[in-house]
Structure 1
Amino acid sequence: MTTQQNQFVISITSRDRVGIVYEVATALSELRGDIADVRQSVLCGYFTMILLVTFPPEVTPRAVERKLSELDANSETAIAATVTSVHNAAVAAPGVVPAHSYVLTAIGRDRIGFVAAVAGFCADHAINILDLSTTVKDGSYVMILLVDLSGCASIQQVRADLARFAAATEFSLVLQHHDIFRATNEIA
């Protein structure tokens, strides 16, 4: 007999400082939360973390929100938290990406609308963005996207449309299967 568990996606944002991961993880463990998956990053001095956490059935989203509010009240920096119930969330094994995963790199002149243009191309072609990273250097904007093309009818059509999109936007765009990207960019 299996016991029903509550699973939540929790997002945390705060000005970065030492100890935030410890404080959040401790607060969740005090509610008997089992952290299944985490993504954490610091951007321009701001800390962000998204977690998938499983709790016993008596722990409600409101109870988690209250616990994180206590953490915020006692913290030297404000901590914003959002708790969302999820059902049957699949946890991927570390380093495992879907079979139809590709890496799309986009490079061009830094300008307003760069991310929107690339994301719009993806949306128009049923390409799901799984991960996204950007940086600006010397007036150039660089985007690296991990994308899932399983919803696309034809990879050949995507490549043809991507070439037209590159010409229209003056972006340098490269689409590689994740396995090829990894093999050619991994340090041995």
Structure 2
Amino acid sequence: MAKRYIMTVLAVNRTGILAALANALDELGGNMRDVSQAVIDKYFAVIMAAEFPEDQDQEVIVDHIRAICRPFGAEVTLRDPSGDTGFDGETEPTPKERYVLTLSGPDRPGVLRFLAHRLALDGIDLVDLQGRQVANQTFMAAMELSVPPGIDALHLCEELKHEFQTDGITVAMQHRRIVAALSHPEPVGFNTAES
């Protein structure tokens, strides 16, 4: 039987950090179930849901990963989601639609604050966020939203466009299935046989 933990690792980004982390997981009998990794400035950051043998002690897991990843100055935290108060074991009890929202334009204070509050008003969960400041104080951000039933995503997109237009920020929203289809189009077969 396996026990699931949520683990975060923050380390100096150098070639080999992911290999060291993968080795440590392997040696502990661990298995990644869900993972998100990013490099920001000079730091490697990863958060993952990982399963370990049930008899594996939590302190042993953390100490072993720290030891293997010591050359990278790794900081490791391990959380047991079943022991967290308020965690009921359900991630999304009601089916929700997923959308990808993108914003780009001049970097202005308060954009993320406004957006986070506006999404929370409709019970929309921001499940993934990627952003970067590029040349000339311009930012680009893409986020995946989990939208509850009954919320009109297209209306929300129009509302955000109106809110940010005076700042010169462009807003676009697409259903995740459309983004996936555009990213990985299915090959089209052609019948070349003569009739």
- Whether 1:57 aligns to 2:50 is no
Counterpart residue number, 1:114: 111
Structure-2-length-normalised TM-score = 0.75
Aligned equivalents of 1:125, 1:89: Cα separation in 2: 20
Query: 1:132 is aligned with what amino acid?
Result: L
How far apart are residue 170 of structure 1 and its match?
4.7
Q: Helix, strand or coil: the match of 2:55?
A: coil
Query: 2:138 is aligned with what amino acid?
Result: S
Structure-1-length-normalised TM-score = 0.78
Aligned equivalents of 1:29, 1:67: Cα separation in 2: 11
Aligned equivalents of 1:89, 1:60: Cα separation in 2: 25
Query: 2:78 is aligned with what amino acid?
Result: V
Classify 1:70/1:185 alpha carbon distance in 2 versus 1 (closer, same or farther; 3 Å). Answer: closer
How far apart are residue 120 of structure 1 and its match?
2.3
- Whether 1:22 aligns to 2:19 is yes
Counterpart residue number, 2:6: 9
Query: 1:140 is aligned with what amino acid?
Result: T
Q: What are the equivalent positions in structure 2 for 1:32-111 lying under 5 Å apart?
A: 32-72=29-69, 75-87=70-82, 100-111=97-108
How far apart are residue 111 of structure 1 and its match?
2.5
Counterpart residue number, 1:95: none
How many residue pairs get aligned? The number is 176
Structure ID, larger Rg = 2
**Which shifted more, 176-185 or 31-40?**
176-185
Query: 1:162 is aligned with what amino acid?
Result: L
- Whether 1:158 aligns to 2:163 is no
Counterpart residue number, 1:174: 172
Classify 1:43/1:71 alpha carbon distance in 2 versus 1 (closer, same or farther; 3 Å). Answer: same
Counterpart residue number, 1:93: none
Query: 2:164 is aligned with what amino acid?
Result: A
**Which shifted more, 178-187 or 61-70?**
178-187
| Structure 1 segments (4+ residues) deviating >6 Å | none
Preserved contact between residue 106 and residue 143 of structure 1 (Cα < 8 Å): yes
Classify 1:146/1:168 alpha carbon distance in 2 versus 1 (closer, same or farther; 3 Å). Answer: same
Extract unaligned runs of 5+ from structure 2. 83-88, 188-195
Aligned equivalents of 2:90, 2:26: Cα separation in 1: 20
Preserved contact between residue 6 and residue 60 of structure 1 (Cα < 8 Å): no
Classify 1:103/1:175 alpha carbon distance in 2 versus 1 (closer, same or farther; 3 Å). Answer: same
How far apart are residue 152 of structure 1 and its match?
5.2
**Which shifted more, 174-183 or 12-21?**
174-183
CA deviations on 1:43-87 (whole Å, 9 max, x unpaired) are 212111122211111113222122223235xx2331011101134
Query: 2:71 is aligned with what amino acid?
Result: E
Q: Helix, strand or coil: the match of 2:29?
A: coil
Question: What's the C-alpha RMSD, in Å, of the aligned pairs?
Answer: 2.7
Aligned equivalents of 2:132, 2:184: Cα separation in 1: 20
Aligned equivalents of 1:169, 1:122: Cα separation in 2: 19
Extract unaligned runs of 5+ from structure 1. 91-97
Classify 1:155/1:18 alpha carbon distance in 2 versus 1 (closer, same or farther; 3 Å). Answer: closer
